[in-house]
Amino acid sequence: MLVMPPTAFTPARPRPLTDIEFCAWIGQAMPGDRLEYHRGFLGIDTTAVISTLPEPDRRRLAALAGAAHRAFEAGLVHLVQVRLGPDRFAYLAIARTRPRRTPVPLARLIEDAEAA
Amino acid sequence: MYPPISPSDLGTLIDEADVAARRLQRKLVLPAADLDDLRQDLLVDVICRLPGFDKRRGSIGAFANIVLRNQCSRIAIRHHRQRQAQGGTVLSLDAPVAGSAEPLGCLLAETDGLAAWHGQDRCAAADVETRHDLARALADLPEDVRGLCAALGTCAVADLVGRDGISRSALYRRLARLRLELAMRGLGGRWDGSEAA
């Protein structure tokens, strides 16, 4: 069972979240901070034809879901969902501790690219 | 008193002043930013001298041409005098200033630099921090995105189109994704918690 510590919790907002806002939140979040980035049924809400959202909102949500998935794959967030009712979930992103890697200066990156 | 200038006469004066300003800027090898100032100075001078215009002696264009030529000559003489006062050359940032062993570039504050003139007034400490943040973010980026960063470090976006068979639209999609990847790592995007609440 996943036990969530009582940390900062930002509920779903009246104004829809965009992918760049979500990424900016990840960039500034402390480990354990949580953000509810969608409420509904993400798989259906992002799929064309069956989604009940207007097309611009569906596209925005699909971009947001893509950004969340990339952040998860990069090890920056945990993605969890809380069941609210039948076919209705709160989708949460929980900030993780940043992976530590050796910094790569831009000058060295350019040198390596030119040498290759 | 000289009667009000007609719109056509004013148009002639503006055109003549514009041509004279461009010629003077080119001859004195002045920066492009000085062109507007030169044009303004020349136009004001020719308007101030309009009471001396006698239409029986020639057209207003010819009058403006003579006045502007004389004023250009005065500005050029003043400019050459200032250059000679600086040793006859443009000051170098690497050359030491008189009475000091330090080069001029070391004595200028960040706020005197060209970047500050263009609204990029940043202190050295902030620059170092940004460089460290960037190095950390680059280390964390996926390999393909990192390659794009390296390419952008040496080429303009227009030069990357067509390289490795990448189309313009695909390149802009990758740039949009790069923006998100950097924002995830604390670069670029800003999250305002109070605005979000």
Along the 197 residues of chain B, how does pLDDT read in single tens digits? 556 788 888 899 999 999 999 999 999 888 888 899 999 999 999 999 988 888 888 899 999 999 999 999 999 999 888 888 776 666 677 777 777 777 777 777 767 776 776 666 667 777 788 888 888 888 888 888 888 888 888 888 778 887 777 888 888 999 999 999 999 988 876 777 666 65
Q: Is the pLDDT of residue A3 over 60?
A: no
CB contact under 8 A, B189 and A24: yes
Q: Is residue A83 part of a domain?
A: yes
Q: What is the pLDDT of residue B152?
A: 86
The reply to whether A106 falls in a domain is yes
Q: Is residue A4 part of a domain?
A: no
Distance of residue A95 Cα from the nearest chain B Cα, in angstroms: 11
| Residue A6, pLDDT score | 53
pLDDT of residue A105 exceeding 60: yes
Please check whether residue A3 lies inside any domain of the structure: no
Q: What is the pLDDT of residue A103?
A: 83
Please state the pTM of the whole predicted model.
0.57
Q: Report the gap between the CA of A34 and the closest CA in chain B (Å).
A: 12
Inter-chain contact B185–A27, Cβ cutoff 8 Å?
A: yes
CA-to-CA separations, B37 to B31, B41, B118, B165, in angstroms, rounded: 11, 6, 18, 47
Nearest to A29 by CA among A8, A4, A55, A44: A8
Is A23 part of a structural domain of the chain?
A: yes
d(CA A23, CA A5): 22
Find the length of chain B. Answer: 197
Collect all residues of chain B within an 8 Å Cβ-Cβ radius of residue A99. 140
Cα–Cα dist B45/B60, whole Å: 14
In A40-69, the residues whose Cβ lies within 8 Å of chain B are 67
Average pLDDT for A35-43: 94
Domain-embedded: residue A63: yes
Which of A19, A23, A108 to mutate to probe the B interface, most B CBs <10 Å?
Answer: A23
Structural domain spans, chain B: 7-85, 124-186
Q: Is residue A49 part of a domain?
A: yes
**Cβ–Cβ gap B135/A74 under 8 Å:** no
Within a 10 A sphere around the Cβ of A109, how many other Cβ atoms?
21
What is the pLDDT, as a whole number, of residue A90?
95
Average of per-residue pLDDT across A7-36: 81
Q: Pick the more confident residue, A109 or B120.
A: A109
Query: What pLDDT is recorded for position A10?
Result: 56
Using CA atoms, how far residue A92 sits from A19, A65, A109, B60, in Å, is 14, 11, 35, 76
Task: Check residue B94 and give its pLDDT.
Answer: 74
Residue B31's SS3 state is coil
Interchain CB distance below 8 Å, A101 and B147: no
| Chain A, nearest residue to B133 by Cα | A103
Residue A33 sits at the chain B interface (C-beta within 8 Å): no
**Residue B191 to residue A28, Cβ atoms within 8 A:** yes
Range of the domain at A81: 9-115
Domain count, chain A: 1
Residue A1 inside a domain? The answer is: no
